Every structure is written in C-alpha cells, then in structure tokens.
Structure 1
Amino acid sequence: MTARVDHLVTSGTFSLDGQTFDVDNNVWVVGDDVECVVVDPAHDVDAVVAAVGGRRVVAVVATHAHDDHVRRAPEAAGRLGAPVLLHPDDRPLWELTHPASVATTDLVDGQVIEVAGTSLNVLHTPGHSPGSVCLWAPDLGVVLTGDTLFRGGPGATGRSFSDFPTIVESIRRRLLTLPAGTRVLTGHGDPTTVGDEAPHLAEWVDRGH
C-alpha cells in the first residue's frame, strides 16, 4: 500500500505567558491502511482516534511542546498504544503542561521514523521553541512544519522560549533548501510550498531588524 497524509482540524485553546487564545490546529496522520504516525494530536482525542481507525500507530510525534499541541498527547498516545516523541530541548515547555513524570521519548536531529514504507526525516528547527522539529517525507513530497513555517512566513516568536533570528536561520538552512515543490503542511492554517515561501526570506530577515 502507498503511504499518504490524512488531515483533520481540531479546535481548542493555546495558553502561554498568562494569555489564552482560541486556536484551530492541524493534525496530520502519515501512513497507509495498516500503520501510521500521528503528528500533533491536538484538542480532540476522540477525533484523532477515529481518524486513525484500526491502524497500528508507530508513534505520536510532537513538533513542539506548546500546550495546544501536547495537552492531549499523553492521552492520545495511551489510547493509541504508542510513545510520544519530543525533542528534549522542549522539555521545559512540556513540563508547563505535564509533570516531569509524564514520559516522552527523545527525538533527535537526523532521526528517521519509518512508517508504511516511507521515511519521516527529523529536522531540528529551533526558534518558535527550542525543540521545534519538522518532519520531511521526501517520498511523499511533503514537510510537516508544526509552527516553524506557515504560508506567509515564520511562526510566532513573541513569547517565552522563542527567538526570531533563530527561527529564520532554521527555515533558511533546513527548509528552504528542500525541493521547491515540497508541500509545507503546517500546524495551523493552509498549506504552502517551499517554492512559494523561499522568495520572501529577505523580507523576513528585514522584519527582524
């Protein structure tokens, strides 16, 4: 069977630095009819479990540890029988939502997650948060960017644990070097492509000065 990317949108809140916002999150399920990886199972665990169906879940991957992305991750992982994978640099953010006793398995830059005959390559892309990662699936022509890159530019960096020059450098080195036709599947909002975003790099750099 050929691997594919399934998509659902869930709604809830994001809280950090004493502020709370209503948000819609993209949840991505990468796999075939037999097995899959769930990326950022936000807000509605029942909806995520329904999207998975009867498939074996290899892993639940958190692109970063902001609470809208990970608040329900332990519950989702428990119901799906899979580990939560998180870059260790985001442990301080994770522990704002979950105690240290709630375990995750470390993601590392360059790690390859195999699922349904395809590979998800882990790219460490700090900036939106210290441990933000993207998942590049060259066979599928997609990169799942979490909140690192959106249609129209970088993810937000105005809150704790974030840094604008760092996110721009991550995007420049790790994402805009991917093939131009690569579809960018984001943590919120509509998809884009590497080719559509690359011409705007200089604008983003200027925005930080």
Structure 2
Amino acid sequence: MAARIEHLVTSGTFALDGGVWDVDNNVWIVGDDEEAVVVDAAHDAQAILAALGGRTLRAIVCTHAHNDHIDAAPELAEATGAPVLLHPDDLPLWKLTHPDRTPDGELADGQTVTVAGTALTVLHTPGHAPGAVCLYAPELGTVFTGDTLFAGGPGATGRSFSHFPTIVDSIRERLLTLPPETVVRTGHGDSTTVGAEAPHLDEWVKRGH
C-alpha cells in the first residue's frame, strides 16, 4: 500500500521574545497501515497517538524548533520510541522549550526520510528559523513547508532567529523551483500549491514582511 497523508489540527500557544499567542497547528502524518512519520508534533501528543492508531512511528520530523511545533515531541517520542529529528541550526530554539532533552538525530539538506516506501527529501530553508526545513515528497506530489511558505506568502520573520531576505531566497531557490502542481502543506492554515504562490514573489519582497 502506498503512503498516504493524514492531517490533524492541534491547538495551543506560541511563545517567543516574551509574547504568547494562541495558535492552531497542522500536524501531518505520512505512512500506510503499518508505519508512519509525524511532521511537527504540536501541542497534543495524545491526539497524535490516537491518530497513529498503533502504527509503528519511524520518526518525528521537526520542520523547525519554535515551541508550537515541538512541544509534544518528547512525550510522543517517549510513548512510541521514535526518534526526534531536527536540523542542528535550530538547537538554540529547541533549548528554549526543552532545555533538558536534546533531539535524537539531525536533519541535513538532501537527506531522505523513508516511510512506507516513500522518500521525503529534506530541503534546508532557513529564514523563519535558522534550521527550518521543508520535506519534499515527489511521489506524493507534495511539500511540507512548516512555517516557511504559507498560502499567501512567507512565514513571519519579525522575531528572534529569523531573517526576511533569507526566507525569500529559500522560497525562491528551493520551493518555487518545484513542479507548479506540487501541493504545499503548511504548518498553519490552508494548503496551497507552488504554482499559486510563485507569481507573487515580487509582491512579497516589496511588502517586506
């Protein structure tokens, strides 16, 4: 059975630079009836466990280390034995949330995470966070972008560890070069496609998010 994509929305708070915001996060589960990986273990480990339904969890992949994307990762890892994987450039952010527990493995540009015979290729896309990554699954016609690219523009770059010119370069060079029909599955809100977002790059640059 080919891998499928399942979607869960969990709710909690995002905290950085002294501010706290209520947020809804997209949790993506990629796999088949036997095994899966989770992209961003946000807020509610028990809800994610319920969605997994006893399948073997191969990995917990973090698109970046803002607390709202990783707060449930240690609990989910403890419950399943799955490793938590994070790009090392995001360790300073990780430690703000989990000072006493490090990730179990590193993500690197070009690395592949395979589940149910389907490869997810790691694209290092800094800007929203230094170690932000996207996961491209050509067989599924999709890219999981975390908070790098949303329906309507780049992720926020107004807080610590972020940089607007860098996120624009990441999107231009790593995401908008993917096939236009590629579905963009985001960290918050609705999905979009590469083709729908590509024409608006110059507008984003002028707005300067």
Normalised to the residue count of structure 1, the TM-score between the two structures is 0.98
* Residues 188-197 or 68-77, more deviating: 68-77
Once residues 103 and 112 of structure 2 are traced to their aligned partners in structure 1, the CA distance between those partners, rounded to angstroms, is 21
Question: What is the CA distance between 1:104 and its match in structure 2?
Answer: 2.9
Residues 38-117 of structure 1 correspond to what in structure 2 (within 5 A)?
Answer: 38-99=38-99, 101-117=101-117
1:123-149 CA-partner distances (Å, limit 9, x unpaired):
000000000000000000000000000
- The residue aligned with 1:16 is 16
Once residues 194 and 42 of structure 1 are traced to their aligned partners in structure 2, the CA distance between those partners, rounded to angstroms, is 25
Question: What is the CA distance between 1:101 and its match in structure 2?
Answer: 4.1
Q: Cα RMSD over matched residues?
A: 1.0
Once residues 26 and 142 of structure 2 are traced to their aligned partners in structure 1, the CA distance between those partners, rounded to angstroms, is 15
CA contact (8 A) 2:86 2:103 kept: no
Once residues 191 and 103 of structure 2 are traced to their aligned partners in structure 1, the CA distance between those partners, rounded to angstroms, is 31
- The residue aligned with 2:187 is 187
- The residue aligned with 2:161 is 161
Residue 134 (structure 1) aligned with residue 137 (structure 2): no
- The residue aligned with 1:144 is 144
1:69-111 CA-partner distances (Å, limit 9, x unpaired):
1111111111121000000000000000111543331100000
Once residues 135 and 20 of structure 1 are traced to their aligned partners in structure 2, the CA distance between those partners, rounded to angstroms, is 28
Q: Alignment partner of 2:189: what SS?
A: coil
The sequence identity of aligned pairs, in percent, is: 70
Once residues 100 and 82 of structure 1 are traced to their aligned partners in structure 2, the CA distance between those partners, rounded to angstroms, is 18
- The residue aligned with 1:31 is 31
Equivalent residue letter for 1:43: H
- The residue aligned with 1:2 is 2
Q: Alignment partner of 1:79: what SS?
A: helix
Ranges of 4+ aligned residues in structure 1 off by more than 6 Å: none
Question: What is the CA distance between 1:198 and its match in structure 2?
Answer: 0.2
Q: Alignment partner of 2:108: what SS?
A: coil
Give structure 2 stretches of 5+ with no counterpart.
Answer: none
Once residues 127 and 165 of structure 2 are traced to their aligned partners in structure 1, the CA distance between those partners, rounded to angstroms, is 7
* Residues 124-133 or 101-110, more deviating: 101-110
Equivalent residue letter for 1:47: A
Q: Alignment partner of 1:139: what SS?
A: helix
Once residues 146 and 99 of structure 1 are traced to their aligned partners in structure 2, the CA distance between those partners, rounded to angstroms, is 22
CA contact (8 A) 2:62 2:86 kept: yes
Once residues 17 and 136 of structure 1 are traced to their aligned partners in structure 2, the CA distance between those partners, rounded to angstroms, is 31
* Residues 117-126 or 95-104, more deviating: 95-104
Question: What is the CA distance between 1:54 and its match in structure 2?
Answer: 1.5
How many residues are matched?
209
Equivalent residue letter for 1:64: H
For the structure 1 residues 81 and 101, does the alpha-carbon distance in structure 2 shift closer, same or farther, using more than 3 Å as the test?
Answer: closer
